Amino acid sequence: MGECLKLLILGVLVNLGTCLDFTQTVFGSATDGVPAAFGDFNSDELTDMFMLRDDFKTVQIFLGSDTEPLLKEGPKCTFKNLRISSVVPGDFDGDAFMDVLITVRSNEKDKLGIFINWGGSSYMNCTGEEEKILDVHGEPMVLDYNNDMVMDLFGLETETHKRTFWLFHKDRSKPEVRQMPKDHKAELRLPHSHAFIDLNHDFTADLFITTDREFEVWNGTERHDGFIFSHTIELPTGLNEHVGQAIFLDAELKGNINLVLPICFDRKCANSTILVHNGHKFHDLEVNFKDPDNKQWGFVIPDDDLFTNAITLRGGDFNMDGYPDLLATLQQHPGGAIQTFLLENVPVERKNNPISRTFEVRWKALAPFANGTIAGAFYDFYQDGILDVVLVEKANGKYRTKAFRNSLDYDANFVKVIVLTGLVNKEVPTTKTPLGRTKKTYGTNLPGPRIAYYTITQDGYPQYGTSAQIPQSAYFALHLPYTIFGLGRTPNFVDSITVGLSNQSKTWTQLIPNSQMIVVPWPIKEPWRWKAQLFVTPSKLILMSMVALGGTCLVIMLIILGLYIKEKREDKLERLQEAHRFHFDAM
């Protein structure tokens, strides 16, 4: 009997583990590729995934769906003699349709060719292999340089290695070239982690540049003359072994965007940690990378591989408590297994610490996926505000994409915000989206906007949060084209959400939690005319409340019906007794 019980428990655990791996539900049999970027290609309000397949010779769009498989194979472009190194979706011709820019490797290290596959309402025009737009040194970063809602690029010019902006036009002509206003001697680091993000709270995206020795911050301006140099952020002394890719998170949930940086103290990365810059200096979060078996882990030593050429963290609120968590790929030292783990944002136990939060490795959070997962990114497969995880496995030189379902064991609230360019195209027919809404294109996902919210928690405390939309786009940054703010179990209305760009902003108040907010900031200089569409997603709590209310009404109806029947029977009995009663008055 005891043995049978053990087998039953084991079977239940196996079933629970396998249900979290829902790769078949998401991709079907098409798992032979790697995710390169995210975006809403066909403007149906479902996030699509841009995949590299066929040994990096094919870029294919997997379209989001509300039926299985949740990502369906869509338009693709295959190149016979080109090897694609990255994908950057965006509107590069101002027609309100998403184009697909790709970078292509050459024989020379870090020299890349730029090609653009021009997009339509539901199709992609594949460019010819001889139709190269330009050459760059290192992967470029996408941004909107002149606030015309047409995407531009920033990077290094091939021959001179000068910092350059390439401005695209609506007629698809050759992009205009502009050099940075001031020539700094510092060499840009490759792979870089440049960012287009508002760092000084003026609702204008700034330029964050990574160099070999330090970080540079260039403030964005309202004018069309680029950026103005502000200051540098120096790395702490002695940290010259391995410096990872910078990312930006509101780590303490105080309404400030913090620079988060993974580093290795030693050459083998056995001694790894995460630094957070609080606006004044870097602070070591002293993350514990020892597993329950007391084995030491650390970041993967950078090499020439696709996802491990730089130490990269990816952020998202996995447990919906409001604080952003991390996905990181770690290696057991010395030279052991490589695996992607969830790092949960938790409070610091030590008092009087300058940083109130740190990260703790959840060693079993992504089980059953284990050895061989070399990268991870967040993705909301069911469009319910709960972030799932996309994982990349590598075995025998081959890449495969897997999907992990995040099944929270409690009901949490959220707000999802999407900021579009606001451009329209009259050629788009009016149709229905998979979510049952009237489809009207308002452009594509926009890099750089700052999004902030304010609410009151259940305990009566104020809660702030802020984020940037698509601040980075190079070297498989894999940022989602929207922002999800976890609200925990707070069922209150969100007091305000503010969206700002190009030194303009607008605030919306009293928003319903568990809603998706689509912001159309057009005209860009007239924020009072900006539009917002709100779509509510009922939470489990609301559904359970409806069920409980319905059950209560049913019970009350049954009680009333029972009392009514009882009263009818008593009346009938009383009438029978009255009929059989002897009347003395009749004598």
Token pair for residue 520?
A: 């159309």
Average pLDDT over residues 1-6: 41
- Is 516 or 436 the better-scoring residue by pLDDT? 516
Three-class DSSP category at 286:
coil
pLDDT classification of 540: cutoffs 50, 70, 90: low
Specify whether the backbone of 330 is left (phi greater than 0), alpha (psi in -120 to 50) or beta: beta
**Contact at 8 Å (CB) between 92 and 101?**
yes
User: Half-sphere exposure of residue 230, counting CA atoms within 13 Å on the CB side?
Assistant: 17
Q: Which stretches does DSSP call E strand in 371-493?
A: 373-379, 388-395, 398-404, 413-419, 431-432, 438-439, 450-456, 462-468, 483-488
Average pLDDT over residues 172-191: 85
- Is 15 or 106 the better-scoring residue by pLDDT? 106
pLDDT score of 121 = 82
Q: CA dist 1 to 5, 12, 13, 377, Å?
A: 6, 17, 19, 44
pLDDT score of 574 = 77
Label the pairing between strands 438-439 and 515-520: unpaired
Residue environment code for 10-42, b if the CB has 16+ CB neighbours within 10 A, otherwise e: eeeeeeeeeebbbbeebbeebbebbbbbbbbbb
Q: What is the torsional sign of CA 476, 306, 163, 275?
A: positive
Average pLDDT over residues 269-293: 92
**Contact at 8 Å (CB) between 333 and 269?**
yes
Token pair for residue 317?
A: 């609120």
Token pair for residue 493?
A: 């209305």
Question: Phi and psi (nearest 5°) for 578?
Answer: -70, -35
Q: Is the pLDDT of residue 374 over 90?
A: yes
Q: Where are the alpha helices (DSSP H) in 200-255?
A: none
**Contact at 8 Å (CB) between 188 and 156?**
yes
Residue environment code for 353-365, b if the CB has 16+ CB neighbours within 10 A, otherwise e: eebebbbebbeeb
Number of residues that make up the chain: 587
- Per residue in 340-358, pLDDT (tens digit) is 999 999 999 877 788 999 9
Question: Phi and psi (nearest 5°) for 571?
Answer: -65, -40
Average pLDDT over residues 375-401: 92
**DSSP at 504:** E
pLDDT score of 240 = 60
Q: Is the pLDDT of residue 225 over 60?
A: yes
Specify whether the backbone of 204 is left (phi greater than 0), alpha (psi in -120 to 50) or beta: beta
**Contact at 8 Å (CB) between 149 and 141?**
no
Mean pLDDT score of the chain: 87
pLDDT classification of 363: cutoffs 50, 70, 90: very high
Tell me how far apart the alpha carbons of residues 78 and 129 are, in angstroms, rounded to a whole number.
10
pLDDT score of 27 = 94
pLDDT score of 542 = 55
pLDDT classification of 110: cutoffs 50, 70, 90: confident
Three-class DSSP category at 571:
helix
pLDDT score of 433 = 54
Three-class DSSP category at 12:
helix
- Per residue in 62-91, pLDDT (tens digit) is 999 989 999 999 999 999 999 999 999 999
pLDDT score of 527 = 94
**Contact at 8 Å (CB) between 210 and 190?**
no
| Low-confidence winner among 73-87, 284-298, 525-539 (lowest mean pLDDT) | 525-539
**Contact at 8 Å (CB) between 269 and 291?**
no
**DSSP at 333:** T
- Whole-structure pTM value: 0.87
pLDDT score of 306 = 86
Burial of 230 (0-12, 13-18, 19+ CB in 10 A): middle
**Contact at 8 Å (CB) between 248 and 258?**
yes
pLDDT score of 344 = 97
